[in-house]
Structure 1
Amino acid sequence: MFDHVVFGVRDFDKSKTFYQKVLAPIGIKTIAEDKLGIELSADGKSSLCIRRTPEDNPAHLHLAFVAQSREQVQSFHQIALQIGAKDNGAPGIRPNYSGQYYAAYVVDPDGHNIEMVYHQE
Structure 2
Amino acid sequence: MPDDNPSILSPSILSHVSIGTNDFDRATAFYDRVLATLGCRRVLEHPGAVAYGRAFPEFWVQTPIDGARAAVGNGVPFGFFAASRAEVDAFHAAALDTGARDDGAPGPRPEYGAPYCGGFVRDLDGHKIEAAYWDQAMAAEPGLD
What is the TM-score with the length of structure 1 in the denominator?
0.51
Q: Any gaps of 5 or more consecutive residues in structure 2?
A: 1-10, 18-71, 137-145
Alignment partner of 1:104 is 2:119: yes
The match for 1:30 is: none
How many equivalent pairs are there?
Answer: 71
Bigger CA radius of gyration: 2
Provide, for residues 24-68 of structure 1, a one-character-per-residue CA deviation record: whole Å limited to 9, x for no partner.
Answer: xxxxxxxxxxxxxxxxxxxxxxxxxxxxxxxxx952631100001
8 A Cα contact 1:85 1:106, kept in partner: yes
**Structure 1's 111 and 94: CA in aligned 2 closer, same or farther, altered over 3 A?**
same
User: Which one has more relative contact order, counting CA pairs under 8 Å at least 6 apart?
Assistant: 1
- List structure 1 segments (4+ residues) > 6 angstroms apart after TM superposition: 1-6
Q: Which amino acid aligns with 1:102?
A: C
Q: Which amino acid aligns with 1:84?
A: G
1:2 and 1:83 mapped to 2: Cα distance? 27
Q: Which amino acid aligns with 2:116?
A: Y
Q: Which amino acid aligns with 1:66?
A: F
SS of 1:105's partner is strand
Q: What is the RMSD of the two structures over their aligned residues, measured on CA atoms?
A: 2.8
The match for 1:87 is: 102
Which of 123, 129, 132 is equivalent to 1:117? Answer: 132
1:113 and 1:101 mapped to 2: Cα distance? 17
What is the TM-score with the length of structure 2 in the denominator?
0.43
Q: How does 1:7-46 map to 2 (within 5 A)?
A: none
SS of 1:75's partner is helix
